[in-house]
Structure 1
C-alpha cells in the first residue's frame, strides 16, 4: 500500500509517517518508481508507535526497543536485543505507564460503580 493508504488506515498523516521513516522507526520498501510501499504489518507498527509515543516514550527510545517488542508468540531472545542507551529513562517511563494504568483502573471502577448505582435507582422508579 502507498503512504496515503497507510495514513488513511491508521489516522496518521503522511508527513508524520515520513518522519517515522526519517528517525528510523518505520521502514517502508521502495517500489521501482521510488514510491514508498508498505505491507499490512505496517498498520500495526504505526499504531504501536503511536501508543508508545502517547505513553511518553521518545522516538529515540522507540527506535531502540521496537525491534524487541514483537508479539508474545514472536518474542525475540532478550539477549539478542540491544541495551537501550537510556535504560534509566525507559525504566522511568515504565513507572509512569504503570501509574497511569492504576489511575485508569481506579477511574474505571468508580465510573462502573456510578453507572451501576444509577441503574439501580432507575430500576426502582
Structure 2
C-alpha cells in the first residue's frame, strides 16, 4: 500500500466523497482536457487505481458509486469493510511501532548513562 493510497483511504474513512472533493483534499490537479472526468481520472491515477495496482491491493478497499449522469467527477468513493479493517490495523501497527521506538530510545539512553557512570567510577 502506497502513502497516497493510505491517505486516500483515510480521506474516505468516515464518509463517502466525490472525486472533485477528494482532489481538493488530497491536492490532486484534475486533468483539464477532460471536462466530465478530469477529477475522476486524475484521482484514480494519483492512487494508482487501475494503472499499476496489484490485483487486490486496493481494489477491494473502496467502492465507487456512479453518479446518475454523464459526469464521472460526481461519482462517490466510499470505503469498504476491508478498507476500514486495513486502516484500523495500520493505526494499531503505527502505535505499536512508536511505542517500541520510544522504549528502545529509553533503553539506549539508560545504557549510555550507565556506561558514563561506570567510566567515572573507574576513573576516580
TM-score scaled by length of structure 1: 0.38
* Larger Cα-atom Rg: 2
Task: State the structure with bigger RCO (CA 8 A, min sep 6), 1 or 2.
Answer: 2
Q: Which has the higher strand share?
A: 2
